[in-house]
Amino acid sequence: MLTFMRDVHRYTARQLGDERMWPLSMPCYIAPGQDIELAQYGTSNVGRLKTLYREGLKNRYGALMQTISGVHYNFSLPMAFWQAKCGVEDAESGKEAISAGYFRSIRNYYRFGWVIPYLFGASPAICSSFLQGKPTTLPFEETGNGMYYLPYATSLRLSDLGYTNKSQSNLGITFNDLHEYVAGLKRRLKRRRKSTPKSGCRKTASICRSTATFCRLKMNFMRRSARNASPVGRNPSDALLRGGIEYIEVRSLDINPFSPIGVDAQQVRFLDLFMVWCALADAPEMSSDELLCTRTNWNRVILEGRKPGLTLGIGCESAQFPLAQVGKDLFRDLRRVAQTLDSIHGGQAYQQSATSCWPALTIRN
């Protein structure tokens, strides 16, 4: 995968001429009124839909959001894993058990995924031009060259300044069961978000609906989405229900400015390690209220994750625990998973990944 990404980056760099690829998740200076073009994917139906999707994002969030970037990491487990863990025979007969396993991963991701921006967050500062004069309640400090920053922040991309939307955090959709999840999606799809602008839809009625409907085809929920390949002509929600979950997509990784391709092998191994742990660890069912409570921990890490002595809550309880202690317990389990993965693949790459990430939890706390 990394070899492929290096090849793609080399090819792209040769085609850019005098342009350069920006190595950070948050953009550099953008002049007021500067035209920000939508990505074009050709004239095929699939290509037009991709551009249309970005037009919808532009209508909802504004054109500046098109300049934010991050690493989207698709994760799936082989059939051998599900056969060993759940006793399934194949994907068709085992789709319920496999989907339940992925939902287990999702719940653990929401509870403990803050560790990803904690370890790898790389957007603690933004150019003042990104705010375009809009007020913010964040207590920014300013450098002499027009940069705004939070002293202990890890990933402003994941804050309310980015694609994370407060109203989307309160959808009332849970991740306990496939049927419950799809039913929640369909309920929300029937409601039009009152604040969604109706202007800007000057094409067909179907396009108008797709850009103004509250939940779009892509269904971006916080930083992670469940996906299933949808056959042409089939409603995505129905396709998900019939086929089950095939993989999940992690969206909480910032562009790594120290890697020429935006991500490195250590990060990839850690994501693999963490997501395998998410599939194995206990994951009690999560109410929509608890899902909202997990957002509190994420926000703390996103906005002040480097602050010494930072504490996190467990569920919606008032009790607080030092981040270092929660991280210590998590890494104890991660090391066990790393040993198993290394015994399968040979070498010590996963154990080395866990070992190299561990000091970050102790140095800052």
Integer Cα distance of 129 and 64 in angstroms: 10
Position 233 scores a pLDDT of 53
For residue 350 the two structure tokens come to 């996963």
- Evaluate whether 30 touches 127 at the Cβ level (below 8 Å): yes
Whole-number pLDDT of residue 122: 97
Q: How far is CA 335 from CA 128, 298, 322, 364, in A?
A: 41, 23, 20, 20
Residue 168 tokens read as: 């989307």
Spans of the chain below 70 pLDDT: 163-171, 191-234, 363-365
CA distance 230 to 52: 18
Domain annotation for the chain: domains and CATH numbers: 21-31+40-363 (3.30.590.20)
Q: Which two tokens stand for residue 169?
A: 């955090």
Are β-strands 224-227 and 147-149 bridged in parallel, bridged antiparallel, or unpaired? unpaired
d(CA 295, CA 110): 8
Question: What is the DSSP code string of 60-94?
Answer: HH-GGGGG---EEEEE---HHHHHHHH---STTTT
How far lies 248's CA from each of 224, 269, 279, in Å?
7, 16, 11
Q: For the chain, state the CA radius of gyration.
A: 21
CA 329, CA 76: separation in Å to the nearest integer?
Answer: 25
Give residue-wise pLDDT tens across range 236-255. Answer: 778 888 889 999 999 999 99
Question: How confident is the prediction for the chain on average, in pLDDT?
Answer: 85
Asked if 190 contacts 165 with a C-beta cutoff of 8 angstroms, the reply is no
Distance CA 134, CA 161 (A): 11
Contact between residue 156 and residue 123 where contact means Cβ atoms under 8 Å apart = yes
Closest to 319 in 3D by CA, of 291, 293, 287, 283: 293
In this structure, are residues 238 and 257 in contact, taking their beta carbons and an 8 Å threshold? no
Q: Name 48's Cβ contacts closer than 8 Å, sequence gap at least 6.
A: 41, 42
